[in-house]
Amino acid sequence: MDYKSYIAQRLKIENVSEEDVQGMLEVPPTNDMGDYALPCFRLAKILRKSPVTIASELAASYPCDGIISEVAAVNGYLNFKVDRVGFAQSTVAEVLTAGEKYGSSDIGSGKTVCIDYSSINIAKPFHIGHLSTTVIGSALYKILQFSGYKVVGINHLGDYGTQFGKLIVAYKRWGDKEQIERGKLRELMRIYVKYHEEAEKHPELDDEARHYFKLIEDGDAEANELFRWFKDITLREVQKIYDRLNVKFDSYAGESFYNDKMQPIIDELKEKGLLKMSDGAAIVDLEEYGMPPCLILKKDGSSLYATRDMAAAVYRKKTYDFYKCLYVVAYQQDLHFKQFFKVLELMGKEWAKDLVHVSYGMVSMEDGAMSTRTGKVVFLEDVLDKCVEKARAVIEEKNVALENKDEIARQVGTGAVIFGALYNNKIKDIVFSFDKVLNFDGETCPYVQYTGARCNSVLKKGGDIGAYKVENLTEEEYALIALLGNFPSVVREAGEKYEPSFVTRYAVDLAKAYNKFYIANKIIGSEENVKNFRLALTKAVKITLENAFRLLGIEIPEKM
Ligand code: ARG
């Protein structure tokens, strides 16, 4: 039962849509005035009446029933009281019946969303800077799919550019096939760094690199074989990380995929009179829109990042006919997206309005920044390994009797890394700290996982859950029920605002509410009817925590 939508459906307010009403409904911090409240201040402008009048008029006309049992106007608020007993009975039953599907909906049915995320660069390290795009993109994938959308996950690989010429030069001079097969990305990076050191002293290396890059473009067999090999090594490596993070893609069409798809766009830009020459380069002037020009072709006629992105957008529209196309990319590229979205709009693509840059903040480690060129880089793989290792040490310290310690450490350590990137509002910069993400007592992943495991152990001890009839509710029970009932709207809002942190925070709130309940309410050993209800409630919490975490790509251990 989604109470907000239930109330919104019944509250008819002129000139305000049901959805807007639903968005205005709040859950008051304490339940003494009511379980839901509509602040009428925001309606005052639209209805040209005072909030107090609006509240009392709405209170008089709202049709109370067995679900919303009482409505009252208090100081410009309209307060709704839910029939708690009926609510509890129906909510728990609904969660238990829906199981893994609880929280899902079909609001997206018939619509396709493309999500461009992770989008790593070939032969460059998969580092901590890629964590957010990877896990935010993947969570949005799961959230939107759970809401009924058809989702296409795209890894827009950075597999085009002069760096591949440089890499061939480096390989030919300082590389060794076997050593690279063994050292993989790190070895490729080592020779790439070496290239840059040497090129400072011997700038002629850059000419050689350009030559090799041209050979790749011209279809030279040897150059392309090397390029494919670099690509293979990279993809094999990152696949391991994707598996660990529960991340999947439907397409790996990267920048080079668009080599032969840009000409029609350039032609169209010309035809529409949008292309201008500036210092030998072809640009689209965006001064009128307060932006620097969008570079389409370099002096030498080669294409640019934006040109490829435009070709990719056109291709995606044609291939998937998307309802929205999301780009999960850090805020440093805000301008890039604004620019090419605008150019597509100027070309008359009415769907340009459906392109969305899902911008997010930076992740850095406690000890500072990184750069590929100098080789000071924090590999995501190392962060995962270290976090699992540290989780293992904490588990060792806390509970020596546990079986499967390695498996639990994997779930806790990996989950903590993912959670670390999904807990805050996505636009915030994050400083990653192992101690913080692995703290069992904070608003953290292990805390939620521990609560899930606690539910499991209660359910195991409690045995079969017999029939029950809810008769009255403690405050803790009701708080828990209210949260459970909210999960479907949390999922919907997370999908609409592209904000997985809503789900993460929800999971923490639910875990906190369960632990409060657990401390204050006896479960096993209570009178049969009460025991059965509390066990059913525990099961509903376990299901909902698992569903929330599944959307984030985090597992909950059986025992902890
Ligand atoms: N590979 C790019 C980078 O590392 C990100 C690509 C994002 N996606 C896109 N369609 N531009 O900066």
Q: Which residue lies with its CA nearest to atom 11 of ligand 1? A: 309
Q: Is 329 in the pocket of ligand 1 (CB under 6 A)?
A: yes
Q: Does residue 38 contact residue 54 with C-beta atoms inside 8 Å? A: no
What ligand 1 atom has the least distance to the C-alpha of 309? 10
* pLDDT tens column, 86-116: 989 999 999 999 999 999 999 999 999 999 9
**Over 80: is that where the pLDDT of 371 sits?**
no
Question: Any idea of the CA torsion for 122, 240, 253, 336, to the nearest 10 degrees?
Answer: -60
Q: Is 116 in the pocket of ligand 1 (CB under 6 A)?
A: yes
Q: Is 117 in the pocket of ligand 1 (CB under 6 A)?
A: no
Give 91 Cα–ligand 1 centroid separation in angstroms.
43
Q: Is 156 in the pocket of ligand 1 (CB under 6 A)?
A: yes
Q: Does residue 227 contact residue 123 with C-beta atoms inside 8 Å? A: no
Give 330 Cα–ligand 1 centroid separation in angstroms.
9
Mean per-residue pLDDT, 9-18: 91
Q: Which are the contacts of 201, defined by CB distance < 8 A and separation ≥ 6?
A: none
Catalytic residue among 127, 142, 166, 317: 127
Mean pLDDT score of the chain? 93
Q: What tokens appear for 31 in the block?
A: 């339940």
Mean per-residue pLDDT, 377-382: 88
Q: Is 73 helix (H, G, I), strand (E, B) or coil?
A: strand
Q: Which are the contacts of 31, defined by CB distance < 8 A and separation ≥ 6?
A: 475, 478, 479, 482
Q: Is 255 in the pocket of ligand 1 (CB under 6 A)?
A: no
| C-alpha closest to that of 308 among 295, 293, 289, 325 | 295
Q: Is 118 in the pocket of ligand 1 (CB under 6 A)?
A: no
Q: How far apart are CA 293 and CA 286, in angstroms?
A: 5
pLDDT of residue 388: 97
Lowest mean pLDDT among 13-17, 506-510, 546-550: 13-17
Q: Is 231 in the pocket of ligand 1 (CB under 6 A)?
A: no
Q: Is 531 in the pocket of ligand 1 (CB under 6 A)?
A: no
What ligand 1 atom has the least distance to the C-alpha of 158? 1
Does 238 or 372 have the greater pLDDT score? 238
What percentage of the chain exceeds 90 in pLDDT? 81
Test site for ligand 1: of 328, 333, 356, most ligand atoms within 8 A of the Cβ = 333
Of the pLDDT bands very low, low, confident and very high (cuts 50, 70, 90), residue 372 is very low
Q: Is 363 helix (H, G, I), strand (E, B) or coil?
A: strand
Q: What is the DSSP letter of 379?
A: B
The Cα-based distances of 294 to 268, 275, 283 in angstroms read 15, 10, 6
Q: Is 309 in the pocket of ligand 1 (CB under 6 A)?
A: yes
Q: Does residue 415 contact residue 387 with C-beta atoms inside 8 Å? A: no
Q: What is the DSSP letter of 63?
A: -
What ligand 1 atom has the least distance to the C-alpha of 305? 11
**Over 80: is that where the pLDDT of 369 sits?**
no
Give 156 Cα–ligand 1 centroid separation in angstroms.
7
Report residue 433 CA to chain centroid gap: 20
* pLDDT tens column, 401-460: 778 999 999 999 999 999 999 999 999 888 888 989 998 888 999 999 999 999 999 999
What is the DSSP pairing of strand 430-432 with strand 363-365?
A: parallel
Lowest mean pLDDT among 202-206, 285-289, 354-358, 437-441: 437-441
Of the chain, the end-to-end C-alpha distance in Å amounts to 32
Catalytic residue among 124, 156, 231, 317: 124
Q: Which residue lies with its CA nearest to atom 5 of ligand 1? A: 119
238-252 in b/e burial notation, b at 16+ Cβ within 10 A? beebbebbbbebebe
Q: Is 385 helix (H, G, I), strand (E, B) or coil?
A: helix
Q: Is 202 a catalytic residue?
A: no
Q: How far apart are CA 386 and CA 497, in angstroms?
A: 33
The Cα-based distances of 311 to 302, 330, 356, 553 in angstroms read 14, 21, 16, 31
**Over 70: is that where the pLDDT of 261 sits?**
yes
* pLDDT tens column, 311-368: 999 999 999 999 999 999 999 999 999 999 999 999 999 999 999 999 999 888 877 6
Q: Is 121 in the pocket of ligand 1 (CB under 6 A)?
A: yes
What ligand 1 atom has the least distance to the C-alpha of 121? 1
Of the pLDDT bands very low, low, confident and very high (cuts 50, 70, 90), residue 299 is confident
pLDDT of residue 243: 97
Q: Is 158 in the pocket of ligand 1 (CB under 6 A)?
A: yes
Give 282 Cα–ligand 1 centroid separation in angstroms.
22
Of the pLDDT bands very low, low, confident and very high (cuts 50, 70, 90), residue 1 is low
Give 157 Cα–ligand 1 centroid separation in angstroms.
7
- DSSP string of 224-249? HHHHHHHHHHHHHHHHHHHHHTT---
Q: Is 336 a catalytic residue?
A: no
Q: Is 384 in the pocket of ligand 1 (CB under 6 A)?
A: no
Q: Is 327 in the pocket of ligand 1 (CB under 6 A)?
A: yes
Helices and strands in the chain, H and E counts: 20, 12
Give 213 Cα–ligand 1 centroid separation in angstroms.
20
Give 118 Cα–ligand 1 centroid separation in angstroms.
8
What ligand 1 atom has the least distance to the C-alpha of 157? 1
What ligand 1 atom has the least distance to the C-alpha of 130? 4
Give 139 Cα–ligand 1 centroid separation in angstroms.
18
| C-alpha closest to that of 190 among 375, 369, 370, 371 | 375
**Over 70: is that where the pLDDT of 558 sits?**
yes
Which residues are registered as beta bridge partners of 91? none
Give 361 Cα–ligand 1 centroid separation in angstroms.
15
Test site for ligand 1: of 154, 255, 326, 329, most ligand atoms within 8 A of the Cβ = 329
pLDDT of residue 373: 47
Give 50 Cα–ligand 1 centroid separation in angstroms.
50
Give 402 Cα–ligand 1 centroid separation in angstroms.
43
* pLDDT tens column, 471-492: 999 999 999 999 999 999 999 9
* Phi and psi, residue 368, nearest 5°: 120, -170
Q: Which are the contacts of 338, defined by CB distance < 8 A and separation ≥ 6?
A: 291, 357
The pTM for the full model equals 0.91
Q: Is 134 in the pocket of ligand 1 (CB under 6 A)?
A: no
Catalytic residue among 49, 81, 130, 559: 130
Q: How far apart are CA 265 and CA 267, in angstroms?
A: 5
Q: Does residue 213 contact residue 162 with C-beta atoms inside 8 Å? A: yes
What ligand 1 atom has the least distance to the C-alpha of 312? 10
Q: Does residue 156 contact residue 119 with C-beta atoms inside 8 Å? A: yes
* Phi and psi, residue 163, nearest 5°: -60, -25
Question: Any idea of the CA torsion for 360, 366, 372, 374, to the nearest 10 degrees?
Answer: 150
Q: Which are the contacts of 385, defined by CB distance < 8 A and separation ≥ 6?
A: none
* pLDDT tens column, 168-185: 999 999 999 999 999 888
Report helix angle 84-98 to 475-496, nearest 10.
Answer: 50
Q: Is 127 a catalytic residue?
A: yes
Mean per-residue pLDDT, 259-263: 92
Mean per-residue pLDDT, 544-554: 98
Radius of gyration in angstroms for the set of CA atoms belonging to the chain, rounded to a whole number: 28
Length of the chain: 560
